Every structure is written in C-alpha cells, then in structure tokens.
Structure 1
Amino acid sequence: MGPVGTQPGRADDASADPVEGMTADFCRTDVPARPVGRLDGSRCSVRALARGDSPVATASPVQRWLLIEQPGPWGRDALPESRFDAEVAPRLARRAREEGVRPLLVRRPGDRLADSARRWAYADSRPGREGLWWSVRASDADLLTAPWDGSVGEPAPGPTYLVCTHGGHDACCALRGRPLARALPAPGPVDVWECSHLGGDRFAANVLVLPHGFYYGQVPGDGAELVDAHRNGRVALPWLRGRAGVPAPGQAAQHFARGELGLLGIDDLPVVSVEQHTPPGSEVERWTVTLAAPEGHLVTSVESRPSTTADLLTCRATHAAHSRTWHVQFAAVPSRGSP
C-alpha cells in the first residue's frame, strides 16, 4: 500500500472534538493578547514539518458552524474565556452541543482591539445544503433563539476563509496563522477571518474554507494557490487535510484518488460506502472505501496504523504520543461503462 499521510493520535487530535467551548467557565478578559515566543525547534509545527508529518485525513466530523464575531483576546477555551457575555456562553454552548453545531469565534485580521460589528453567521457544509449566511446581533443573547438553518441573514457570495490564529490554545496557530490571515488574497475584506481553534495545531497554518467545509494545513506563503483553487471550484491538494463530515478513511481514500486521477473538483469522488474490517480502536485498522468516480465506482483498501515513533504533538503536550499513518491502494479500478 502506498502511504497517504499521518494524523494525530486519538488522545491528541483536537479536531475530533465535536464542538468547542462546551465546558461551563467564567469569562476572562485578562488573557494575553499575543503569545510569548517565536517559531523555533521547540514548536509543534516546526517539529511536524521536520518529521514530514502529513495532515491528510484530519478534518473535523462537524458539518455545521456558528461564527461569532468577537474581537479582543481569547483564552484557551475561546467562547467562555473572551469578552462574550459570560452568562450567555454556557447556554449557547449547550444549545450548540445539542444541535451538533460548532461555535467558532472570528475577528477581522489585525483588528484585535477594534469595535465589533457584532456579526454572526450560520454555515452548513452538508451536501445539497451548502451555504453561509451573515447576520448582526443586537446582543449576545440573541444567538440563543436565532434560527440556525440559513433562514435568516445575507448569503455569502463565495468562499469564506477562516484562518486559525488561536494563540491562547497553541502558540503555533498564532505565530503562523496571523501572518497568513493578513496576507491571504481573498476577493473582499469580509471573505477572510481569524478564527478560534480548528484542531491539528501542529499543522499550522490551518485554514477552513466554508461553506463546503474543506480543511487545510501547513499552508505556505500568502495562501494564493489555495484561494485560486477555490475561486475555480477546485481543492488545493498539496495542503488538503480533508472535507468536514467525511469519515477519516474516506478522507484518506479521496486524497489518494484525487492525486492519482487528477480529479480536483470540490465535489469529485464522493464517498459511497465505508466498510470496516477490524474492530474500532485496533492498533492496525482496515477498511474498504468505495468512491464514486466518473467512470464508475472506485474501490480502495485503506489502512491506518501507529507511527513508528512517539512525539510531542502539540506545543502544550507533556507526553509523547503516536500519530496515525494512512495507507491507500486501489482494490478495483473502474472502467468505462462499469456500474
């Protein structure tokens, strides 16, 4: 089997968390505005690049988001540890958990201390329902009763780029994310936002492209190639982590097949089925993943196993852990006219 990439171990992969900010906590405004330090050999993203870690198959399972404009500092748990209403935060987190929606705080690049226009948006990446709709709240409490279904707000005309800059969670996110957020050449000023924790800190700079839910990691330079790809309805394969909501083995199979077949359209190679052949949580896990290709069904064999060595996978990690490596091969190649 040919290797596709690596993903964090289960205990270290924050992108697997369904929603952020679910714990009740107090609202802090005394958290530092900027992380202390610099990108050196101790940083998780520097170590991951040196090891050659791949971000493939690490996109979140969540397919719906609540974007809340909130300038100013964010603590480690962004929603309750920000200037968002302290009484509203736990109630909003509870509603988000119950409805399967992930809250993300957002702010304009470089506008950390600017007054907020109190924007918020609902985003949906489920196939056939894709969209992102912006509204303005009079108070934070409005979000407790606002519909999260796309029935209110102005639709975003094109892709929206969220760049993780959450230094309160991991310094690498801020040190790599903030320069990218300022430089990303998106068409308009409201198309790029800094955002709170996306997961996969060691893959900073991390970007989520909505509404279709594509996660990217280790995005270099100013991200121009990523923006150009999505402007033309394609994915930027070299930095693609995966698509939200697609099971991890499906993400790995899609990535491998996209590279082999040159199918880069955002809706190319949807997953038809995922069949697991080993008990969940096995040291080595195996699946058969079937994708819908232009000439018929493409069947792949997917395997995930621990990395050979254990490493510190985040800047805050206190113990080494094994990542998961992904390996994919074609089990059956469709021919013209196959079902």
Structure 2
Amino acid sequence: MGPVTTHPGPADDRPADPVGGVTAAGSAPPDATVPDDVLGTEVPARPLGRLDAGRCSVQALARGDSPVATASPAQRWLLIEQPGPWGREALTESRFDADVAPMLARRSREEGVRLLLVRRPGGRLADSGRRWAYADSRPGREGLWWSVRTSDAELVTAPWDGSVGEAAPGPTYLVCTHGGHDACCALRGRPLARSLPAPGADDVWECSHLGGDRFAANVVVLPHGFYYGQVPGDGSDLVAAHGRGQVALPWLRGRAGVPAPGQAAQHFARGELGLFGIDDLPVVSVEQRTPPGSEVERWLVILAGPDGEVVTSVESRPSADAAHLTCRATHPAHSRTWHVTFAGGPVA
C-alpha cells in the first residue's frame, strides 16, 4: 500500500495558543475582493485587497499542500459573541471590555480552554450581541451550551463546564474570517460563512483565528472539534456529511486534541477502510520510534477498528521546498510531510 503525503503545520503556523491568537489574550475566484457589506464592522475597515496569486492560500493550492494532521490540540472552547471589527489580537483589539480581557485570557491559558470570538455572518447583528458558549470536544463529553451575559466581566467567573446554558441540538460551524490576522481568512472565509447551508441561523458563525491561514477557508465543527481546510463552494458537502454523522474526508484537517501522528493515521485509515463515522477509528496509542525533533520522525500508531486493532506506521519529514506559508510570512519555511502505511492488524 502506498504512502499518503500531507503537509501539516509549518514553522509559521504552530498550533495556536489556548486564547486563539490573543496575546493578553467556498473558495473564491483568484481575483475576488470582499465587498464593504461583508466586513462585519460598523466602522471603516482597512482594505483587505484581492485574492491574487501572491496570497498564501492561492499558493498553497497551487503547490498541492494538504491540510491533513493540522488540527489544534484544544479540546475545550469558549466562544464569545463580539460583533464589529477585530484587530490582529482579536480579544484586546475589539469592542470587548479592555479591563476584563487580560483576566479572561489568563484564565483561558490556565485552564487550557481555547478562546474564540464569534459574530454573525455577513455583519448581521445578533439579537443582543452578548451570547457566549462553552464547548467540550473530549470523547464521551461532547457538547456545546449557549448562554447570555449581561457584562463581559461575568465570563471571568462563569462555570466553564456545561452546567449552564442551553445545549445546541446539532453541529455548530465556525468559519475563520479573521482578516486582521491573515487576509486569506476573510477573503475566502466570509463568502463561505454567508453561504454555508446549515439547518439554523444559530448553527453558523464567523470566528477569530483558527490557525492554518494558507488552508483558508478554514472551518471547525463543534462540539466534536473537527477541523477542515480549503473548503470549496458553499460548503454543502461538509454540512451534508455532518448531518449524516460522518466526516467530510476530502477537506478534513483532523480532530482537535488528537496528536498529529494520530490525525495522519486516522485520515489514511479512513480513506483505505471507508470508515467515515465521526467516532470511527479512535486512537489507542501513539509510540514514537525516533528522538523528538529528529529531521525524520517515526511513530507506531494503533487505532481501534471495527474488527480489531489497526496498526499504522507514520513518518514525518521536512518538505523538499521552502515557501512563504502565510500572507504575513517574512521568510520561506519548510512544512512537514507525513507518510502513512499499514503496519499490521486485520488489514495488513
């Protein structure tokens, strides 16, 4: 069986910190621009430019970069509805209470909860603009619960455990549209967020930085934490798959919280075995066979299959060529390529 090659997080795109790009805290055509009414702001915003050949997402598609094995390590999430513009550091460069932001960011880091700002697609204002949600992606604990705050300060002491709020009845789709972080996220993400055919108005939100800018349009599906990249068109195939309780494999980056070698192994095995259920092929173990940080790293990854263990051999090494991997990158960098084969088990 031949290897599968993927290009996960490069030096410019390490896993994001739990605050989601805060330090105190639908493919569009190549010449697409974002109209003013899509900016999601109530004040003039800096022009984002065009989705031309120099953009990182356009170059990544031309190179054939795969987003596999690039999902975040986060497994718990705090979503804060914050309409209006977001700067590069979303929480502190928005209309969120500036006195509260550092305290909230500190708690987020200490508890390992990924903090994301969210807003309605296309600049539509919510009924109150004060909603927030806690989500848990840990296997067996999956859920997302919406609440309403009367002040930003309430979030510092609110329980982040699912004990308050109204449970979301189905998947929630977060589309990264954080143009203040990388223009590609807005140029590709905003049209997708507006057109994504989710069942209800509360099921789709624009969100702040998810990571993997060159894979825009990026989407995370909660509560299970499935990351997607390079989502084409209106995203209808992605929504349809999750409506069936399955992943959309062609655009799957991985599941949040699963180690990168496990994500690569799962992706390969799903494709080979035709197992697309959201709970299929959980990781049993990841055993590193080379010293961490080696130029070429190898792991033995065991997955739980329907007929017993599925054993895979996973290898990661630098890509042959260096490239500018985000629109803001100042120097070229190598991504990591992944190569997976079956090493044993019922399909050896």
Alpha-carbon distance in structure 2 between the residues aligned to 1:84 and 1:112: 18
Question: Of 169, 178, 181, which aligns to 1:157?
Answer: 169
1:260 matches 2:261: no
Q: Name which of structure 1's ranges 109-118 and 197-206 shifts more when overlaid on structure 2.
A: 109-118
Shift of 1:334: 1.3
Question: Of 200, 225, 237, which aligns to 1:213?
Answer: 225
Alpha-carbon distance in structure 2 between the residues aligned to 1:250 and 1:131: 23
What SS does the corresponding residue of 2:65 show, helix, strand or coil?
coil
**Equivalence for 1:288:** 300
1:2 matches 2:3: yes
Cα deviations across residues 256-291 of structure 1 (Å, max 9, x unaligned)? Answer: 000000000000000000000111111111000000
Alpha-carbon distance in structure 1 between the residues aligned to 2:100 and 2:144: 23
Question: Of 73, 82, 96, which aligns to 1:84?
Answer: 96
**Equivalence for 2:255:** 243
Letter in structure 1 aligned against 2:233: G
Q: Tell me, yes or no, if the aligned pair for 2:196 and 2:204 is still in contact at 8 Å.
A: yes
Shift of 1:112: 5.7
Question: Of 321, 324, 347, which aligns to 1:312?
Answer: 324
Unaligned runs of 5+ in 1: none
What SS does the corresponding residue of 1:67 show, helix, strand or coil?
strand
**Equivalence for 1:224:** 236
TM-score normalised according to structure 1 size: 0.94
Shift of 1:317: 0.2
* Aligned length, in residue pairs: 332
Alpha-carbon distance in structure 2 between the residues aligned to 1:315 and 1:242: 23
Q: Tell me, yes or no, if the aligned pair for 2:100 and 2:153 is still in contact at 8 Å.
A: yes
1:110 matches 2:122: yes
Question: Of 50, 59, 62, which aligns to 1:47?
Answer: 59
Alpha-carbon distance in structure 1 between the residues aligned to 2:47 and 2:209: 14
Q: Tell me, yes or no, if the aligned pair for 1:119 and 1:135 is still in contact at 8 Å.
A: yes
Cα deviations across residues 114-152 of structure 1 (Å, max 9, x unaligned)? Answer: 674300000000011100000000000000010000000
Letter in structure 1 aligned against 2:3: G
Unaligned runs of 5+ in 2: 26-40
Shift of 1:35: 4.0
Alpha-carbon distance in structure 2 between the residues aligned to 1:3 and 1:193: 32
What SS does the corresponding residue of 2:4 show, helix, strand or coil?
strand
Distance 1:30 1:80, change over 3 A: farther
Cα deviations across residues 77-129 of structure 1 (Å, max 9, x unaligned)? Answer: 10111000000000000000000001100000012666743000000000111
Q: Tell me, yes or no, if the aligned pair for 1:17 and 1:60 is still in contact at 8 Å.
A: no
1:327 matches 2:339: yes
1:273 matches 2:319: no
Q: Tell me, yes or no, if the aligned pair for 2:142 and 2:223 is still in contact at 8 Å.
A: yes
1:15 matches 2:15: yes
TM-score normalised according to structure 2 size: 0.92
Alpha-carbon distance in structure 1 between the residues aligned to 2:184 and 2:128: 25
Identity percentage of aligned residues: 82
Alpha-carbon distance in structure 2 between the residues aligned to 1:191 and 1:14: 28
Question: Of 297, 301, 317, which aligns to 2:313?
Answer: 301
Alpha-carbon distance in structure 1 between the residues aligned to 2:172 and 2:88: 24
